[in-house]
Amino acid sequence: MTNIIITYKCNLKCCYCFANEFVNKTSKNITFEDFIKAYYFIRRNERDRIGIIGGEPTLHPEFGRMIEFLNGENRKQKFKIPVQIYTNGIEIDKYIGILKKGNYHLLINCNSPKVIGETSYKKLLDNLRLIDKNFKKKYVVGINLFSETMDYEYIFEILKEFKLKTLRFSLTVPNLAEKKHLSREEAFGKKKEFLFKVFEKCRENGISPFYDCNIFLSCLTNPEDLKFLKTFKERYNLIKYSSCNPVIDILPDLKAIRCFGMSDYMKVSINDFKNTEELRKFFEEEIDHYAKKIPTFEECRGCEEMMLGNCYGGCLAYKADRIEEYKQHCKQFFNKV
Ligand code: SF4
Ligand code: SF4
């Protein structure tokens, strides 16, 4: 999947937002011409999937024109190209008509009324009803678990009303650099009880949860936890080591980043690459290759799963500021040998 970030504007101000380097700091929108360049760049790799993301993508003044363009591209192909749209759902009603004409999958990040206020939440619910009517089985709802005291009951009301059976969720990573230097206990250990409480509620309601980012650490689960996780009808990535692949996000200025979590570490121009496959390989060699060898937490030192490259120790953002030093250290070492 490669995402095009079409705008940095957002109509919400979520306290946990990962994209704080960009969102609402600048009013930058991608130009329509650059959107087309980014689209054709992704299409050079026929197997790659496309995501449209923001900020809140529906706030781009030319969002409708972009959708019409994608619909036109679809009409030219034998197979409709699937496009994933990430949205908070609050303004999506304006575009249901044209979205219905293409091959879109919607990922709706649902926030609690306590976070976004009753008015926006009511709009979200109204729009979910519209989406459910028009995009049966082609949408998924998600929740960001950002605090152990946050409200999550509302997501189960949504899942119940729309008879949904899956829930996407992310364990958020602190969005300020100085708060990323956490111990394993602070970053994950303290969240376990809350996370498993949400899982328990999923289990009771016949919902299969799956992780988007920042998979919970397997070293903090015990045989009882594993037994419980295995009771889910669909296990998706629930029982997986905490690792991830370069997603690739293309920014409005046509620079590419590995993913939001690594946005402040490295940006490169898509013009310097043949296609997204080459770009992905570049990020793997320049970021993942080194990052996965850096122990995220004290407990990771000497851990076999880290040495085998199975576990990254959670989101790479926890150690983004240590990668460059380690990379230089490796390069100097190999120059000497
Ligand atoms: S690398 Fe770290 S986080 Fe991953 S399993 Fe080992 S100790 Fe746990
Ligand atoms: S490093 Fe991995 S977990 Fe973190 S934001 Fe990027 S893709 Fe997600």
The CATH number assigned to the domain holding 153 equals: 3.20.20.70
The pLDDT of residue 113:
95
Residue 18 CA: nearest ligand 2 atom is: 5
Residue 64 resides in a domain: yes
pTM of the model: 0.93
Residue 320 resides in a domain: no
**Burial status of residue 333 (CB atoms within 10 A of its CB: 0-12, 13-18, 19 or more):** exposed
Rounded CA gap, 73 and 1, in Å?
Answer: 18
Ligand nearest to the CA of 300: 1
Over residues 122-175, the pLDDT tens digits come to 999 999 999 999 998 899 999 999 999 999 999 999 999 999 999 999 898 877
Ligand nearest to the CA of 297: 1
Residue 226 resides in a domain: yes
Determine the distance separating the centroid of ligand 1 and the alpha carbon of 14, expressed in angstroms: 29
Flag whether pLDDT at 297 surpasses 80.
yes
Residue 212 CA: nearest ligand 2 atom is: 8
Residue 147 resides in a domain: yes
Mutate-to-test residue for ligand 1 from 311, 312, 316, highest number of ligand atoms within 8 A of CB: 311
The pLDDT of residue 178:
60
The pLDDT of residue 195:
95
Mutate-to-test residue for ligand 2 from 144, 145, 213, highest number of ligand atoms within 8 A of CB: 213
DSSP reduced 3-state for 149: coil
Split into its structural domains, the chain has a count of: 1
Residue 333 resides in a domain: no
Ligand nearest to the CA of 187: 1
The pLDDT of residue 59:
96
Residue 259 resides in a domain: yes
Determine whether the shortest distance from the Cβ of 262 to ligand 2 is under 6 A.
yes
Domain that holds residue 208: 2-275
Residue nearest to atom 2 of ligand 1 (CA): 300
Rounded CA gap, 85 and 72, in Å?
Answer: 17
Residue 23 resides in a domain: yes
Over residues 97-117, the pLDDT tens digits come to 999 999 999 999 999 999 999
pLDDT grade for 176, boundaries at 50, 70 and 90: low
**Burial status of residue 60 (CB atoms within 10 A of its CB: 0-12, 13-18, 19 or more):** buried
Determine the distance separating the centroid of ligand 2 and the alpha carbon of 315, expressed in angstroms: 5
Place of tokens 């970021």: 287
Rounded CA gap, 54 and 9, in Å?
Answer: 7
Residue 319 resides in a domain: no
